[in-house]
Structure 1
Amino acid sequence: MSDAPLLHRDDPSRAPLAGHTKVTREDWLAMARDTLVHDGADQVKILTLAQRMGVSRSSFYWYFRNRTDLLHALLDEWEARNTARITAHCARPAATITEAVCNFFRCFVDPASFDQGLDFAVREWTRRDEALRARVDAADAARIKAVTEMFIRHGYDPEEADARARILYFMQLGYHALDVREPMDLRLSRVGPYLKGFTGQEPCADALAAFIADVSQMEAR
């Protein structure tokens, strides 16, 4: 999750709220998202969120029709943040497939880009709500399609591109699901062999060096 304040009123970078308004729609979404990630969908309740923010629950209805409307807004945010950003990273210009895969990796190493906690909270939620499973399946299909098209653009036939896309995508999700913990320098030392394994090609030295430099810079922040 981001380190940004949960509530709009605590964020000095934003304009003050007008009149007697204490919280915004974004505040309700932020608190709902935090509750979903840490406590699960069952705890995303209007009264619970209002108590945590110290406001009346009546303000909720200025922004949402009901709890279901809020839950759908959370899913919209998840798709806009995680799915859309994966597809955007896959579409970035790249001279080689190994550079393209480095772009894919960039999405996941930057917490500001891909919200790992939100992604798995949504997946856990859909295990208990079959009606929502189709939405997650559609998101996974869109992500895999984007990775597949990335391979196709670099000369792979569609069948091989699909297989490599699934290997790459499911490995990345599994890496997070297993909560793999390793020093970043060790993780970076494996990027070259990973790239060769995922693409079947020797890594582009410049692309690999640029990726390692980007990650090192993020770590130093």
Structure 2
Amino acid sequence: MAKTADTVPDKVQASARLGRADWIAAARTALVDGGVAEVKVDRLATRLRVTRGSFYWHFKSRAELLDTLLEDWRNANVEPFLHVLDGQEEPVLRLKRFFGIWLGGGAFDPALDSAMRDWARTSKPVARLVREADAARTDVLRRIFAAMGYADTEAEVRARVTYYHQVGYYALGIVESRQLREALFPTYFKVLAGHDVPEG
């Protein structure tokens, strides 16, 4: 007699429904909540209430999952900043858009960035990727400030101060409402950019 949906064990049914994206999302949550040590197949299966078999339908190994997590982080937390330079906007509008990514509402996840920095302390390859990401994002800021008319050294320093300010904001775990952040944004922008927030 063939098994019906009512007779198939819950874990088997759940495994059949899970996709690759579900495992990535679970791994990302585990990384943020407990660090890379929590990103293990058994622990993720327990979180998802499925068997290990589901994992191996989508990934060859834990190492492949970790590589996918790094790609996921880059796509969500690095690439959006690099694309700020696309198009023909005025530099100050590009800077506003850069800040807007930090303010949230999109794919950027500050908790994931913090988790990546924690992971980097125990992995030289991950540390290299984090340094490269920091350098790339800071360079975008430098290019924006240079396009705004600041001399090379000042553009570099403004980029660093702006970037370090925001990284420190998350590292310190500052807790404030989005309403307060939005209220303070024009002042932060003027202090860091030397320019009022543009319209548009």
Q: TM-score normalised by the shorter chain: which range applies?
A: 0.7 to 0.9
Report the Cα offset of residue 159 of structure 1. Answer: 2.3
More displaced, 183-192 or 50-59?
183-192
| C-alpha distance in 1 between matches for 2:164 and 2:86 | 19
| C-alpha distance in 2 between matches for 1:166 and 1:91 | 21
Report the Cα offset of residue 91 of structure 1. Answer: 4.4
> CA 1:70/1:96 → structure 2, altered by over 3 Å: closer, same or farther?
closer
Aligned equivalent of 2:193: 199
| C-alpha distance in 1 between matches for 2:98 and 2:144 | 10
- Residue identity over aligned pairs, in percent, reads 34
| C-alpha distance in 2 between matches for 1:182 and 1:92 | 33
| C-alpha distance in 2 between matches for 1:96 and 1:47 | 48
The number of residues matched between the two structures is: 186
| C-alpha distance in 2 between matches for 1:129 and 1:96 | 36
Aligned equivalent of 2:121: 127
Alignment check: 8 A CA contact 2:91 2:145 kept: no
Aligned equivalent of 1:80: 75
Aligned equivalent of 1:153: 147
Equivalent position SS for 2:130: helix
Aligned equivalent of 1:6: none
More displaced, 31-40 or 108-117?
108-117
Relative to the length of structure 1, the TM-score reads 0.76
Equivalent position SS for 2:17: coil
Q: In the alignment, residue 108 of structure 2 is paired with which amino acid?
A: F
Alignment check: 8 A CA contact 1:126 1:132 kept: yes
1:22 aligns with 2:17: yes
Query: Over aligned residues, Cα RMSD in angstroms?
Result: 2.1
| C-alpha distance in 2 between matches for 1:65 and 1:22 | 19
Deviations 1:74-133 (A, max 9, x none): 010000100011222354654352x33321211011243310111101111111223321
Aligned equivalent of 1:110: 104
Alignment check: 8 A CA contact 1:91 1:146 kept: no
Structural mapping, 1:132-143, within 5 Å: 132-143=126-137
| C-alpha distance in 1 between matches for 2:69 and 2:178 | 31
Structural mapping, 1:28-43, within 5 Å: 28-43=23-38
Q: In the alignment, residue 168 of structure 1 is paired with which amino acid?
A: T
Alignment check: 8 A CA contact 1:148 1:162 kept: yes
Structure 2: runs of 5+ lacking an equivalent: 1-14
> CA 1:190/1:93 → structure 2, altered by over 3 Å: closer, same or farther?
farther
Alignment check: 8 A CA contact 1:28 1:60 kept: yes
Q: In the alignment, residue 25 of structure 2 is paired with which amino acid?
A: A
Structural mapping, 1:48-67, within 5 Å: 48-67=43-62
Equivalent position SS for 1:144: helix
1:44 aligns with 2:39: yes
| C-alpha distance in 1 between matches for 2:178 and 2:16 | 44
| C-alpha distance in 1 between matches for 2:82 and 2:21 | 24
> CA 1:189/1:52 → structure 2, altered by over 3 Å: closer, same or farther?
closer
> CA 1:44/1:146 → structure 2, altered by over 3 Å: closer, same or farther?
same
> CA 1:50/1:175 → structure 2, altered by over 3 Å: closer, same or farther?
same
Report the Cα offset of residue 39 of structure 1. Answer: 1.3
Alignment check: 8 A CA contact 1:90 1:147 kept: no
Relative to the length of structure 2, the TM-score reads 0.83
| C-alpha distance in 2 between matches for 1:30 and 1:184 | 25
